[in-house]
Amino acid sequence: MSLSRNNAQLVAVIALIASMIIWSVSGIAIKHALAVLPPFTLIVMRFVPSVLLMLVIGLVCRKSPLLCLQKLERKDIPLFLIAGFCQPFLYYMLETFAYDALNSPTIAETLLSTSPLLSPLFAAVLLRERVTKYNIIGILISTAGVFALSLVGSSDYSIGSYWGVLLAFLAVSAAVIDSIMMRKVPAYYTSLSFIFYAQLISLLFFIPIWWFREGPETIYNLRFTMYQSEMQIALGCVAYLTVFASVIAFILFCFALRRVGVTRANAFNNIRPAFTALWMLLFFHEMLPWGKWMGMALIIFGLFICQKREKSEK
């Protein structure tokens, strides 16, 4: 029994790391796409195909216990409405404008990865989820690593608009509330079902705003810019955000969160800036000073501490 539980925990941790690796590239993709596409257009172009993709997966895999789409029960509609409003709608609207307002994707990633600081409070109040001393110590160590990674050795401390900072923290709050909804939604819903209905509901909010703010003008402009190289790069970024960030990563995160809890799952958000820094090193040859390596080490050490169980839990 213990081995089975340990294996389940290991699978959940692997799923969380995979989702964070995928999301660590999202900031770079969003920044490139925003250079060409208006914010709401980017959001709609990202989530309409992701909902359709999940519908196809659910229909093809309707006999799979992991990837089938279940019928939405009437009594569960309020939970899905809250989830869909908080994330993707509120989170991605705030996140997109935060990336637009902040000068550095790294700073944006850092601010958007602070959900571990809010998760214990939300989880304890709304879910009565037990928060251990290891959770708190690990989160604080890991968060210190995030700020060391972002600020130590940097020659540019310019943040940009402080509205971007506020928007980033509001986005984090929305993401944490969405995590709470993942735990409160009945367990018989597959991860695919939860993400599908949440994103479908979010489109009911997104599409009217997009149409009145950007829709007709964007559709008109796309006819003339579709084959430009900048637009081709932007569309490639949208494709990545659609398939990997909006479908695969969300399903992996939802699957893992239901097994390890809100506090421990959201602690992994701290590794996103570390992976972003590694991508900058590997693909853009940005050399990292020792302070950033120290920050990565603190993040990883903090995550190990956060996942440690007290004797009464074993």
**Do 101 and 164 touch, CB atoms closer than 8 A?**
yes
Q: How far apart are CA 239 and CA 88, in angstroms?
A: 17
Give the pLDDT confidence score for residue 58 in this predicted structure. Answer: 92
The angle that helices 290-307 and 272-284 make with each other, rounded to 10 degrees, is 140
Amino acid at site 307: Q
Give the pLDDT confidence score for residue 149 in this predicted structure. Answer: 61
Domain count, the chain: 1
Give the pLDDT confidence score for residue 220 in this predicted structure. Answer: 84
Q: Please give the structure tokens belonging to residue 295.
A: 């920050």
- Among residues 125, 147, 121, 142, the alpha carbon closest in space to that of 263 is found at 121
Residues near 195 by Cβ (< 8 Å), separated by ≥ 6?
Answer: 54, 247, 250, 251, 254
Give the pLDDT confidence score for residue 22 in this predicted structure. Answer: 93
Q: How far apart are CA 238 and CA 76, in angstroms?
A: 31
Write out residues in the chain with pLDDT < 70, as ranges. 1-6, 103-107, 109-110, 114, 116-118, 121, 125-127, 129, 146, 149-162, 284-289, 291-292, 296, 300, 303, 306-314
Torsional sign, CA 83, 87, 88, 90 = positive
What DSSP line would sit under 97-141, residue for residue? HHHHHBS-HHHHHHHHT-HHHHHHHHIIIII-----HHHHHHHHH
Q: What is the CA radius of gyration of the chain?
A: 19
Specify which residues 160 forms β-bridges with: 102
Q: How far apart are CA 84 and CA 94, in angstroms?
A: 14
Helix/strand/coil for 160:
strand
Give the domain extent around 129. Answer: 2-313
The verdict on pTM exceeding 0.85 is no
**Do 242 and 4 touch, CB atoms closer than 8 A?**
no
**Do 104 and 111 touch, CB atoms closer than 8 A?**
no
Give the pLDDT confidence score for residue 1 in this predicted structure. Answer: 41
**Do 69 and 56 touch, CB atoms closer than 8 A?**
no
The angle that helices 2-34 and 249-260 make with each other, rounded to 10 degrees, is 140
